[in-house]
Amino acid sequence: GLLRIDHVGIAVADLDEALRFYADSFGLHCVHQETNEEQGVREAMLAVGDGDGPRLQLLAPLRPDSAIAKFLDRNGPGLQQLAYTVTDVEAAAAALRARGLRLLYDAPKRGTGGSRINFVHPKDAGGVLVELVEPASGGTPVG
Ligand code: CMX
């Protein structure tokens, strides 16, 4: 099942500019940054409050053909995904597939901080791109 909200992802054109905006406007600070070549993103995780709850993920495109670049072209910057923490991404994906929802990947891919991820197609989830995140074992669940 779904354990909790892991993070909410926001598409931005420029990561450094967005990080300055979130720091200056909301006092939110980056706790983790990485580049995921396979996903075509530069991303940052921002902690909210005591840092124990869900995080805010800023996603900037690495390439014009990436999912984030396509999202920005179509919608401009804004909410792109809602991610849930799961204990076992394969089991969670299988349960959703059994209920008729389309998962984007046959097998999990690598997400933030070595997590294992999959996505439910937004057309099968009420217009929301849903990410399933199994945190890296033993590691800090950053995404
Ligand atoms: N949220 C809600 N709806 C979305 C959406 C999103 N993020 N992205 C696309 N859609 C909608 C489009 O508006 C479109 O709707 P209409 O047909 O009504 O116009 C429809 O979905 C398009 O679907 P599609 O043609 O099948 O797919 P796209 O080429 O638009 O790509 C998606 C959408 C979800 C398959 C693609 O973005 C994807 O593969 N995402 C998963 C990977 C990803 O997002 N990586 C970046 C984050 C990395 C990370 O989190 O680590």
Q: How far is the CA of 25 from the centre of ligand 1 (A)?
A: 28
Strands (E), 87-129: 109-110, 116-120
pLDDT of residue 51: 87
pLDDT of residue 21: 98
Q: How far is the CA of 142 from the centre of ligand 1 (A)?
A: 23
* Block mean pLDDT (10 aa), the chain, length 143: 96 98 98 98 96 96 98 98 97 98 98 97 98 82 53
Would you say the CB of residue 115 lies under 6 angstroms from ligand 1? no
ipTM over 0.85: yes
SS3 129: coil
Largest CA distance in the chain: 45
Residue in 37, 81, 118 to alter for ligand 1 test, most ligand atoms within 8 A of Cβ: 81
Q: Which helix (H) or strand (E) holds 74?
A: helix 67-75
Mind listing the domains of the chain with CATH numbers?
Answer: 2-134 (3.10.180.10)
pLDDT of residue 89: 98
2: closest CA among 61, 87, 126? 87
Q: How far is the CA of 40 from the centre of ligand 1 (A)?
A: 14
Q: How far is the CA of 61 from the centre of ligand 1 (A)?
A: 14
